[in-house]
Chain A
Amino acid sequence: MFTLGVDIGSTTSKCAVLEDGASLTVTSIAVGGMGTRGPQEALDAVLAQAGLTLNDIASVVATGYGRARCPWTELQASELTCHALGAHMVFPGVRTVIDIGGQDAKVIALNGQGRMKSFLMNDKCAAGTGRFLDVMASVLQIPVEELGRRALRSEHPSAVSSTCTVFAESEVISQLANGVDLDDLAAGICASVAARTAALAKRLGVVPPLCMSGGVARNAGVRAALESALGAPVLTSELAQLLGAVGAALYAYRKQH
């Protein structure tokens, strides 16, 4: 039996197909979230790869910011539950999931069986989220993917301490004007995101093993800063950005049983 998870985020759309709730068949990511062609493109890609049509799918569950507007299903689950399920599938035994997405950051505590026990999310400011990194990368005039690589090279990370995205932006601009090294600024920016998320994690209680999901997990600079702020290794995977979709597909399977 095939189930499909669709994660419609604020900046990207992701799909995952599972067979019998266990083996991951295919996944896809498309640029563009809610209100764009992104969801359709992700769906087309995942079905084409799997050689399936929607008729072959026993159940579809939507998650993410755009979950209520998914055209292919009315079943939905929050991204909290889906990231928890997805993370538990990919990292069995994981107890703390840190998910930093396009517009929010969340920390989820799991019990030993992969069930979500509690969660905390960022307050409404974009600081500490993927959007913050996008804004900062454009200030530095580098692609956002480069932030992490540059951060790892830095020897004297600069301090970016504002808790507001707009304030932090002007902080970074003035440091840039003062000639601060780009790598050091990139490290400061990554550390600032990590510090905010680490504070959330500490409030919830950091129980290892920890893993990271969401698009920002690909940023090695943020990951390294998180590890040092939390004093524990943070696991991640190629699938990090897809864990919500994987979790949704698993949720769909479980609801059938």
Chain B
Amino acid sequence: MAEEIKKHRPPPDPNSAKYKLGQIAAKAYSDAQAAKDRGEPVGWCASNFPVEIPETLGLAVVYPENQAAGIAARGGGARLCEEAEGDGYSNDICAYARISLAYAKLKSAPEQDVPMPDFVLCCNNICNCMIKWYENLARELNIPMIMIDIPFNPDYEVSDEQLAYVRAQFWDAIHQLEKLTGKKWSDEKYKEVMEYSGRTSRAWLAATATARYTPSPFNGFDLLNHMAVMVTARGKKEAAEAMETLLKEYEDNHEKGVSTFRAEEKYRIMFEGIACWPWLRVTSTGLKSRGINMVTTIYADAFGFIYKDFDDMCRAYCKVPNAINLEFSRDKRVKLCKDNHVEGLLVHTNRSCKLWSGFMYEMSRQIGEACDIPVASFDGDQADPRNFSEAQYDTRVQGLMEIMEANKEVG
């Protein structure tokens, strides 16, 4: 059946953004494997570690979070989670961590293989669970771990002290990697990476901002796929070009009055949290079948890494979503809701991610009030399929839709 459907699909257009972005994401894995095959050292890297460092040094890295998402989306989440649980990891630990730790032991998964690492790069601006996860990888695999500590920021700005603390660690990480791999830092190369990263980010921000049009020229679930490139490859020329293509396509869609959201857009919502990868189709169909388009997510804002020099880059990494306080996080989301005419907020209470879900109760309440929109939440998990109930999801989404519908009727 699936085979048959596939046959009828037109071949992907190699000039389309979707094709190009898909190729870049896939190439990140094959490039790393090729480097490994050449005998070069390869790293596993946390998603908010400054990617500019390995990129400038010319080091191939892969991203365990991305790999885990891929494994979960292709149905391997429960198998690997159970494997890790069998080794004593609690069911309460982030499912990305469980999948990655299981993979480190098994060293293969048909859903998404990666080369085994020679070092790991960790940064806790995303969460502190990351530290223990990477420490365990380093220990189990007997490889070095390079750690950058970025403290949670209670303020809106990054203080000079914090900048100095983080900058010193960035340089320390660079020096450690130089020593470890024999690669050399080049300011010239860094400038190039910074420029591409800026170009990619600007295009991403502009593309996601086309959601301000009604109807939106894209289905927000697209962003969940495309963001893999923002995480892993934004400092590359191909990424900049592909994102610029994406922007152009979205602008063209708007001109022509079409969209990648293949239904009538009756309602516009913001989706909060990581995607429920094992249940992606169910969660997306539950929205689409009701004419609900998820027009924005915090990811739209989060990957706008635009900076003018090294210090500015350090500051950008101190301001990633999970490293900033509730009020600052709320303001960013309120802006996204207002800019994109959002009518409701759907919150994924992600069992895996204590940090993200923990402050979401209060934050979503504040966003709902500030934007005068209804809020609904559902239980789920980014990668462990056992933490989701389709019936529960469906009732809450329908309830949210019914409030949005009634709000429209009243005008």
B374, B387, B402, B406: residue with the most chain A Cβ atoms closer than 10 Å:
B402
Chosen A-B contacts, 14 in total, with CB atoms closer than 8 Å, are A78-B398, A80-B395, A80-B398, A80-B399, A81-B402, A104-B395, A118-B375, A118-B403, A121-B392, A123-B349, A123-B379, A124-B387, A124-B389, A203-B361
With A124-B379, A203-B361 as contacts: A115 and B406 at CB distance below 8 Å: yes
The contact string, 1 if C-beta is below 8 Å from chain B, for chain A 77-116, is 1111100000000000000000000001000000000011
Query: Chain A contacts of B387 at CB under 8 A?
Result: 124
With A78-B399, A80-B395, A80-B402 as contacts: A119 and B376 at CB distance below 8 Å: yes
Query: Chain B contacts of A121 at CB under 8 A?
Result: 392, 395-396
Residue of A nearest to B379 (CB): A124
Query: Chain B contacts of A116 at CB under 8 A?
Result: 399, 402-403, 406
The contact string, 1 if C-beta is below 8 Å from chain B, for chain A 111-139, is 00001111101011000000000000000
A104, B402: Cβ atoms under 8 Å?
no
Give A123 to B395 CA distance when docked, in angstroms: 13
B391 at the interface (CB under 8 A from A): yes
B368, A118: Cβ atoms under 8 Å?
yes
Query: Chain B contacts of A78 at CB under 8 A?
Result: 395, 398-399, 402
B410 at the interface (CB under 8 A from A): yes
| Residues of B bordering A, CB below 8 Å | 349, 361, 365, 368, 374-376, 379, 387, 389, 391-392, 394-396, 398-399, 402-403, 406, 410
| Residues of A bordering B, CB below 8 Å | 65, 68, 76-81, 104, 115-119, 121, 123-124, 203
With A115-B410, A117-B374, A118-B374 as contacts: A124 and B392 at CB distance below 8 Å: yes
Give A124 to B398 CA distance when docked, in angstroms: 17
Interface SS of chain B: helix, strand, loop or mixed?
helix
Shortest beta-carbon distance, A203 to chain B, in Å?
7
Residue of A nearest to B375 (CB): A118
Query: Chain B contacts of A76 at CB under 8 A?
Result: 398
Query: Chain A contacts of B395 at CB under 8 A?
Result: 65, 78-80, 104, 121
Residue of A nearest to B391 (CB): A65
B375, B391, B399, B403: residue with the most chain A Cβ atoms closer than 10 Å:
B399
Give A239 to B391 CA distance when docked, in angstroms: 25
Q: Which of these, B392, B396, B399, contacts A81 with CB under 8 Å?
A: B399
Give A119 to B403 CA distance when docked, in angstroms: 10
A117, B361: Cβ atoms under 8 Å?
no
Residue of B nearest to A65 (CB): B391
Give A119 to B297 CA distance when docked, in angstroms: 22
Give A65 to B379 CA distance when docked, in angstroms: 16
Shortest beta-carbon distance, B148 to chain A, in Å?
34
Shortest beta-carbon distance, A31 to chain B, in Å?
20
Give A203 to B392 CA distance when docked, in angstroms: 20
Give A132 to B298 CA distance when docked, in angstroms: 37
Apart from the given pairs A78-B399, A119-B376, A119-B399, 16 other A-B contacts in the complex at a CB distance below 8 Å: A65-B391, A65-B395, A76-B398, A77-B398, A78-B395, A80-B399, A80-B402, A104-B392, A104-B395, A115-B410, A117-B403, A118-B368, A121-B396, A123-B379, A124-B387, A124-B389
Shortest beta-carbon distance, A202 to chain B, in Å?
12
What 4 pairs across the A-B complex have the smallest Cβ distances?
A: A80-B399, A78-B398, A81-B402, A78-B399
Query: Chain B contacts of A118 at CB under 8 A?
Result: 368, 374-375, 403
Shortest beta-carbon distance, B249 to chain A, in Å?
35
Query: Chain A contacts of B375 at CB under 8 A?
Result: 118
Give A79 to B402 CA distance when docked, in angstroms: 11
A76, A77, A115, A124: residue with the most chain B Cβ atoms closer than 10 Å:
A124
Residue of B nearest to A108 (CB): B399
Residue of B nearest to A251 (CB): B402
Query: Chain A contacts of B365 at CB under 8 A?
Result: 203
Query: Chain B contacts of A65 at CB under 8 A?
Result: 391, 395
Query: Chain B contacts of A81 at CB under 8 A?
Result: 399, 402
Residue of B nearest to A113 (CB): B410
Give A217 to B35 CA distance when docked, in angstroms: 65
Give A40 to B402 CA distance when docked, in angstroms: 27
Residue of A nearest to B398 (CB): A78
Give A142 to B395 CA distance when docked, in angstroms: 33
Shortest beta-carbon distance, A126 to chain B, in Å?
12
B361, B375, B391: residue with the most chain A Cβ atoms closer than 10 Å:
B391
